[in-house]
Amino acid sequence: MSSLTNKIAVVIGGVGGIGGAISERFAAEGAQVVATSRTAPLDGPATAVSPAEGGIRLQRANASSLADLKQVFDTVRKEEGRIDVLVINAGLSEFAMLGDISEDLFDRTFGLNVRALLFAAQGGIDLMQPGGSIVLVGSIADVVGTKGYGVYSASKAAVRSFARTWANELAVKGIRVNVVSPGPTDTAMMGAASDELLAALLKMIPLGRLGRPDEVAAAALFLASDQSSFTTGAELCVDGGGTQV
Ligand SMILES: NC(=O)c1ccc[n+]([C@@H]2O[C@H](COP(=O)([O-])OP(=O)(O)OC[C@H]3O[C@@H](n4cnc5c(N)ncnc54)[C@H](OP(=O)(O)O)[C@@H]3O)[C@@H](O)[C@H]2O)c1
């Protein structure tokens, strides 16, 4: 039996990049996945969802919008009836050194990475039962002082902090909360980094390369599945050793 057979998984920001890899891996492991994206088609599933095998239902939603998030959970309540695994992946990063940080940059970053993540978790827990798992996509930036990354790093430190509190609060309900923290990973987000930054980041990584989205998805799968049944409040770094050695 696959590790997510008969599980309902919701991936907020579940198309493309790391979130897309998570949706695809979870579906391959037997989950019925609801994957949200601003660009998802308005009608119809992307792949067939059958009760017997995993599949992905796309739902258009802007993860920054609390109204859209409410719509996602209302639809899941109606269509799937429950959530076994909730992954909150949507996040953005923009560079600005202290002195050049605009209010808009701060609001955009904290609005998605912190505020929306909090309300997505709050919206999802009503649909979760004992045995449920919440996986937050953080970043190793939460413990690194990369120049120009101050707002992003602080937002991801908030994610790490939320996981500690929520793991404690939700333990009584039998729901686990963990963070998967990628290091530099080969997605559109990293594609936006300058060659100089990329070279500096690669120097920090003992394994000497960027991570792949499927490698982050494998770690998310561990945290989502019963394989990690005694793990909660933890941060699993998938960073080629960058913050570990
Ligand atoms: N790539 C890395 O090196 C790296 C390292 C550490 C952590 N991470 C984290 O991994 C997660 C996924 O990032 P990624 O690398 O896969 O980047 P990506 O390909 O750019 O994906 C970004 C995700 O965030 C959503 N998103 C971006 N801007 C948004 C906005 N303004 N409003 C609403 N949703 C927005 C996207 O949703 P749509 O489909 O709606 O566009 C997509 O789901 C993020 O939380 C990021 O912080 C990435």
Q: What is the pLDDT of residue 71?
A: 98
Asked whether the beta carbons of 166 and 134 are under 8 A apart, the reply is: yes
Atom of ligand 1 nearest to the CA of 141: 6
Q: Residue 230's domain spans which residues?
A: 8-238
**Phi, psi (deg, nearest 5) at residue 5:** -55, 135
User: What is the per-residue pLDDT for 45?
Assistant: 55
Catalytically active residues are 152
Q: Tell which atom from ligand 1 comes closest to the C-alpha of 14.
A: 43
Residue 196 has what pLDDT? 86
Residue 180 included in any domain: yes
Q: Is residue 110 in a domain?
A: yes
State if residue 191 touches ligand 1 by the CB under 6 angstroms criterion.
no
| CA–CA gap between residue 157 and residue 109 (Å, rounded) | 13
Ligand 1 contact via 159 beta carbon (within 6 Å): no
Ligand 1 centroid to residue 172 C-alpha, Å = 31
> How far is ligand 1, taken at its centre, from the CA of residue 144, in Å?
19
Kindly state whether residue 2 falls inside one of the protein's structural domains: no
Question: 184 CB less than 6 Å from ligand 1?
Answer: yes
- Whether 182 is in the pocket of ligand 1, judged by its Cβ within 6 Å, is yes
In a domain, 69, yes or no: yes
Residue 190 maps to a domain: yes
90 CA to centre of ligand 1 in angstroms: 5
Q: What pairs with residue 177 in β-bridges?
A: 134
| SS3 (DSSP) at 10 | strand
In the chain, the N- to C-terminal Cα span, in Å, equals: 36
CATH number of the domain that 49 lies in?
3.40.50.720
> Per-residue confidence of the chain (245 residues) as pLDDT tens digits?
689 999 999 999 999 999 999 999 999 999 999 999 999 987 655 554 555 579 999 999 999 999 999 999 999 999 999 999 999 999 999 999 999 999 999 999 999 999 999 999 999 999 999 999 999 999 999 999 999 999 999 999 999 999 999 999 999 999 999 999 999 999 999 888 888 888 988 999 999 999 999 999 999 999 999 999 999 999 999 999 999 99
Per the domain annotation, does 244 fall within a domain? Answer: no
Number of domains in the chain: 1
Q: Indicate which atom in ligand 1 lies nearest the CA of residue 113.
A: 45
Query: What is the 8-class DSSP label of residue 171?
Result: G
In a domain? residue 1? no
132 domain residue, yes or no: yes
pLDDT at 200: 86
CA of 13 to the centre of ligand 1 (A): 7
Residue 159 confidence (pLDDT): 99
User: How many whole angstroms separate alpha carbon 163 and alpha carbon 161?
Assistant: 5
Q: pTM above 0.95? A: yes
The pLDDT assigned to 33 comes to 98
